[in-house]
Amino acid sequence: ADRSIDADFADAAAPVMIAGPCAIESEEQIEAVVDFLRRRNIRYIRGGAFKPRTSPDDFQGLGEQGLRIISASARPAGLKIVTEVMDRSQIEAVCRHADILQVGSRSMFNYTLLTALGSVDKPVLLKRGMAATVDEWLQAAEYVSRGGNDRIILCERGIRTFEPRCRNMLDIAAIAQVRHLSGYPVVADPSHAAGRRELVVPLALAAAAAGADGLMVELHPDPSTALSDREQALDFDQFDTLLKRLAGLRTAREGKA
Ligand code: PEP
Ligand code: MN
């Protein structure tokens, strides 16, 4: 088992960056992202092969072919792969390629999936359900840990509120709370909270200042062509701006700043 991932998230002096497209779309797309991340010493790439889309008409991901594309490009470059598993039946395939298994917001209440992930020897990035309370989220984590896997990373990605101007409301208080309540590392996903690219940088900065151990950000070589979550993807220049602004931030994390 590769314990370097657990160490990365536990000892982070600055939030660990996980970046990449919403969905794996092509070799060219992934190679461009891999090259960009490598030059900036970012060691975690994200990209979905199995996409839980709200509409069945939308792009559902490349499936196993997508996993092979991201593996072939990211692994030789030394990048760790974060990708979603939607169903128990996908665990074996996803485990062949992924370093961290993502459970999406729509799957947080899938207790058979959570239980099955309890017997996997890889970290699970557990996203908060879009309408889940903090306690429900922590109980979902408990399903994984009771199964024998305590390599859990919690991910706050915003919750539904009455406010339609952002896609979801990033719950900054929850970031601080679950770090204390669970002891697990907490990653913030400002992209799915924002829904629009101009809100991603301010939300990422807020999450980092609140003590997030990692940030997961959607990044695309050409957002205008993205097959999913087009409006919220940062392009390379915007991502560089984010890195610059993060470097200038003094965080509020106890014992870490
Ligand atoms: C994703 O990370 O692309 C995704 C589908 O996120 P969420 O489950 O938070 O909606
Ligand atoms: Mn997405």
- Decide the pairing of beta strands 16-20 and 124-127: unpaired
- Both tokens of residue 212? 């997030």
Ligand 1, atom 9: nearest CA belongs to which residue? Answer: 105
Q: How far is CA 45 from CA 79, 226, 233, in A?
A: 6, 17, 14
Ligand 1 contact, 22 CB (< 6 A): yes
**Ligand 1 pocket residue status of 105, Cβ below 6 Å:** yes
Q: Is 192 in the pocket of ligand 1 (CB under 6 A)?
A: yes
For the residues 51-78, what does the mean pLDDT come to? 97
Nearest ligand 1 atom to alpha carbon 189: 9
- The closest ligand to the CA of 155 turns out to be 1
> How much is the pLDDT for 251?
54
Residues 6+ apart with CB under 8 A from 256: 12, 13, 211
Q: Tens digit of pLDDT for each residue in 212-257?
A: 999 999 999 999 999 999 999 999 999 999 999 999 986 555 555 4
- Among candidate residues 50, 102, 79, 88, the one with its CA nearest the CA of residue 216: 102
- Structure pTM? 0.96
154-to-67, 112, 212, 214, 223 alpha-carbon distances in Å: 23, 18, 10, 10, 27
* pLDDT confidence of residue 1: 75
Q: Is 65 exposed, middle or buried (0-12, 13-18, 19+ CB in 10 A)?
A: exposed
